């Protein structure tokens, strides 16, 4: 983990491209072989039919049968490619289908089961501490082994799955270590390639499934079933060989990533004993990390442990041996595992994490000023350190995240766990933030999204008014998983309600812009099926106008004096290392939030090295005067969110 977020993403993208071109020819080869097998069977079947029915013999019929076989090959190959494309589209439209097909069911934060509440708390702590939206949490209730996985195309639509065995057999620290391992896959860009691999492997698995269906048909037919038997045997053989070599490729790809994810989990939690203990429990459990779902093959590379069980051949294993993973942190491990038979008792006291540091932070959050963030660490005042914190986790941020969740009123946390309540929380915060009569705005909510949301907003309004500024964005983050359950029409109405509330008083505040952009950005891929962004700008010079507008707003946000704003701007601009780029401070009156919103939309399509310079320069501008206001912290969060750069709460 010596590289920063941007370098890790660049490495992951390059590696994914290389592996894709390694994996693609192998998959295509087996698709062609499968199509050729179907063609051979069709040709053989037609030739057999014609020789039985023809009186004159067979020259013409032979060529006719061969022609039919070629047509069958083309159609088969086309159908297999269509299957891969359909799988890809299916994953794009609903990545949660992977968890559902594995037997998972989504967990609500309002669950009365303490082990469910414990895992959602751990995930929310990790999400807030790392700056990523909380993934939807699915539990594989029928799986007694210890395992977990994460899948998604971006940090905004990730799904995290965990087995029932993990929840029952692991302590909170052990579960946190396992979840930290999965979060490293989110932050390192691994899960996107994993999703592509599922789609590509689907075509090979489909060949094998055809063969099994032919076998089943041959056993039920009353007449001559030789062709069906031969077809089934050939297709199963081709499909099995394809699956075998796909497993080898997956093994070569995945093993090293697991070592990296283990190291990241230890770095995030600084608790190697917890990760080692979780791995030892897998070794001592009869089921180990086995997932018994029939769909495990296509998802075997996703898991924390070997999903196919302990007896998988080393050449086919997608994960390193448990002993080798343990010895990375405990070199003297003798390879013996203590048998695990009893579940770990989970009480309501273990749902939340408590220690003196968290209690002190919680108290400071409850009494923090509304004008200035009081939780600024001295290390965060170094711009390079701020940019290096992007895409990372640490025990300090985990403690801060736990304190933020503990400081939130219980009624607001419960409200954010349902669709109606989550809408009420977000829209209620916009009502509180904007000027004008609140009751009129609540009636506006009622007209657009309905009476239940408006009524709920009235109920929680007083608590939203008294909520500390530092806790408002964490509260919104906890509402994101529930908002994912809106229908497309409900999301359109919700989006329109946010827009109407922001424009109701004919002026847009920074918090209103941040709240609106944060929610829309994290949900639009799911509801609007937005394609993954690709870089359009590869140099600061190509976006220097937008960059200057953004940096100017950051400078003006934290400095009322013109001289101080100029000094802050120059400190950020001075970090841009390009002799042909000249950045000039835009006057405050020409630096509107709408201009900044448009500038961020352009900068979002810049390359990772450009984004790194933007983030570092903005961080330098924020900390130029040695102080960080809540306004500056919120603005910096907006910038990092729009640029898809997950940042911990370093400035709060």
**Catalytic positions, written as ranges:** 182
Place of tokens 């070794």: 283
Please, which residues bridge with residue 104 across strands? 140
Residues across the chain: 652
> Residue 87 and residue 100: Cα distance in Å, rounded?
15
b/e map of 112-141 (b: 16 or more CB within 10 Å)?
eebbbbbbbbbbbbbbbbbbbbbbbbbbbe
Gap between the Cα atoms of 652 and 404, Å rounded? 11
- Angle among Cα 289, 292, 296 to the nearest 5 degrees reads 85
Please name which of 297, 192, 290, 196 lies closest in space to residue 242, comparing C-alpha atoms: 297
DSSP helix/strand/coil, 322: helix
Dihedral of the CA atoms 24, 27, 30, 36 (nearest 10)?
-60
**HSE-CB for 546 with a 13 A CA cutoff:** 22
Q: Which two tokens stand for residue 618?
A: 């903005």
Distance CA 397, CA 129 (A): 5
Here the tokens at position 104 are 């998972």
User: Any bridge partners for residue 105, and if so which?
Assistant: 139
For the chain, the straight-line distance linking the first and the last C-alpha, in angstroms and rounded, comes to 24
User: Among residues 9, 526, 430, 34, which one has the least CA distance to residue 231?
Assistant: 34
Please state whether beta strands 104-106 and 136-140 pair in parallel, antiparallel, or not at all (unpaired): antiparallel
């Amino acid at each position: 983990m010596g590289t920063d977020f941007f370098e890790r993403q660049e490495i992951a993208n390059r590696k994914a491209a290389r592996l894709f071109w390694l994996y693609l020819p192998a998959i295509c080869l087996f698709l062609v072989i499968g199509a050729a097998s179907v063609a051979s069977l069709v040709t053989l079947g037609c030739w057999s039919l014609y020789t039985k029915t023809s009186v004159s013999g067979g020259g013409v019929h032979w060529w006719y049968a061969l022609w039919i076989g070629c047509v069958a090959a083309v159609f088969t190959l086309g159908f297999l490619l269509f299957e891969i494309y359909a799988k890809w589209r299916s994953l794009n439209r609903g990545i949660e289908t992977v968890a559902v097909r594995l037997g998972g069911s989504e967990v609500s934060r309002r669950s009365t089961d303490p082990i469910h509440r414990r895992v959602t708390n751990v995930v929310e702590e990790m999400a807030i501490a790392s700056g990523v939206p909380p993934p939807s949490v699915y539990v594989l209730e029928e799986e007694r082994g210890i395992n977990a996985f994460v899948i998604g195309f971006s940090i905004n639509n990730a799904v995290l799955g965990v087995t029932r065995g993990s929840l029952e057999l692991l302590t909170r620290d052990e579960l946190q270590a396992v979840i930290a391992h999965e979060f490293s896959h989110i932050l390192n860009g691994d899960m996107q390639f994993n999703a592509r691999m599922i789609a590509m492997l689907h075509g090979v698995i489909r060949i094998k499934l055809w063969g099994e269906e032919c076998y089943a048909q041959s056993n039920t037919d009353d007449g001559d079933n030789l062709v069906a038997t031969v077809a089934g045997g050939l297709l199963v053989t081709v499909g099995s060989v394809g699956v075998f070599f796909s497993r080898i490729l997956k093994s070569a790809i995945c093993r090293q990533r697991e070592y990296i994810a283990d190291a990241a989990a230890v770095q995030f939690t600084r608790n190697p004993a917890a990760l080692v203990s979780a791995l030892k429990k897998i070794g001592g459990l009869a089921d180990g990390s086995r997932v018994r779902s029939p769909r495990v093959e296509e998802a075997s590379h996703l898991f924390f442990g070997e999903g196919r069980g302990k007896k998988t051949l080393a050449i086919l294993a997608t994960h390193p041996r448990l002993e080798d993973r343990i010895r990375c942190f405990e070199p003297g491990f003798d390879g013996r595992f203590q048998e695990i038979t009893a579940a770990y008792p989970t009480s309501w006291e273990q749902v939340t994490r408590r220690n003196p540091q968290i209690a002190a932070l919680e108290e400071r959050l409850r009494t923090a000023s509304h004008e200035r963030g009081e939780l600024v660490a001295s290390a965060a005042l170094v711009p390079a350190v701020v940019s290096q914190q992007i895409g990372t986790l640490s025990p300090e941020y985990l403690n801060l995240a736990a304190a933020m969740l503990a400081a939130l009123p219980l009624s607001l946390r419960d409200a954010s766990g349902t669709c109606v309540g989550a809408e009420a929380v977000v829209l209620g915060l916009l009502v509180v933030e904007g000027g004008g009569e609140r009751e009129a705005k609540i009636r506006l909510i009622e007209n657009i999204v309905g009476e239940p949301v408006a009524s709920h907003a009235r109920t929680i309004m007083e608590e939203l008014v008294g909520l500390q500024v530092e806790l408002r964005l964490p509260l919104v983050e906890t509402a994101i998983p529930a908002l994912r359950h809106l229908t497309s029409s409900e999301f359109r109405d919700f989006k329109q309600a946010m827009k109407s509330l922001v424009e109701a008083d004919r002026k847009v505040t920074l918090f209103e812009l941040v709240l609106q952009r944060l929610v829309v950005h994290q949900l639009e891929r799911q509801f609007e099926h937005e394609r993954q962004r690709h870089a359009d700008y590869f140099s600061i010079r190509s976006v220097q106008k937008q960059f200057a507008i953004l940096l100017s707003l950051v400078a003006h946000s934290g400095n009322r004096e013109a001289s101080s704003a100029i000094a802050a701007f120059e400190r950020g601009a001075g970090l841009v290392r390009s002799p042909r780029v000249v950045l000039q401070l835009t006057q405050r009156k020409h630096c509107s939030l709408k201009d900044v919103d448009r500038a961020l939309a352009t900068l979002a399509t810049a390359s990772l090295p450009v984004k790194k310079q933007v983030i570092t320069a903005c961080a330098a501008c924020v900390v130029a005067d040695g102080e960080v206001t809540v306004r500056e912290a919120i603005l910096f969060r907006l910038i990092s969110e729009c640029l898809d750069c997950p940042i911990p709460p370093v400035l709060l």
